[in-house]
Amino acid sequence: MAVVESGTVSRAAELLRISQPAASKLIQDLEADTGLQLFERESGRLVPTGRGMRLYEEVERIFGGVRQLARAVDAIRREEHGHLLIGAMPALSGPFITRVVAGFKERHRDVFVSIEARSSQFLTEAVLLRRVDLALVISGLEHSSVQVERVKCPPAVVALPQGHRLSDLSELSPIDLKDEPFIAFAPTGTMRSKVDAAFERFGLRPNIAIEATTAPNVAELVAAGLGVTVADPLALEHVAGRIISRPFTPVIDFEYVLICPIRARNSDLVADFAAEVHAAAKTPKLTA
pLDDT tens-digit readout, 154-189: 999 999 999 999 999 999 999 999 999 999 999 988
Is the confidence at residue 14, as pLDDT, over 80? no
Sequence-separated (6 or more) residues with CB below 8 Å from residue 178: 199, 202, 204, 206, 207
Bridge-based pairing of strands 207-212 and 181-185 is parallel
Is the confidence at residue 45, as pLDDT, over 90? no
Q: Hey, what amino acid is at 128?
A: L
Closest CA to 235 of 151, 164, 166: 151
Query: What is the average per-residue pLDDT within 25-48?
Result: 72
Mean pLDDT, all residues of the chain? 85
pLDDT of residue 226: 98
Which residues are 46's β-sheet partners?
41
Could you say which DSSP state residue 178 is in? T
pLDDT tens-digit readout, 214-263: 899 999 999 999 999 999 999 999 999 999 999 999 999 988 999 999 88
Question: Looking at per-residue confidence, does 59 or 113 come out higher?
Answer: 113
pLDDT of residue 143: 76
pTM: 0.68
Sequence-separated (6 or more) residues with CB below 8 Å from residue 272: 104, 107, 108
pLDDT of residue 123: 93
Bridge-based pairing of strands 45-48 and 39-42 is antiparallel
DSSP per residue, 37-64: --EEEETTEEEE-HHHHHHHHHHHHHHH
**CA–CA dist 271, 242 (Å, integer):** 34
pLDDT of residue 246: 96
Q: How many DSSP H helices and E strands does the chain contain?
A: 10, 12
**CA–CA dist 132, 128 (Å, integer):** 8
pLDDT tens-digit readout, 199-225: 999 999 999 999 998 899 999 999 999
Is the confidence at residue 285, as pLDDT, over 80? yes
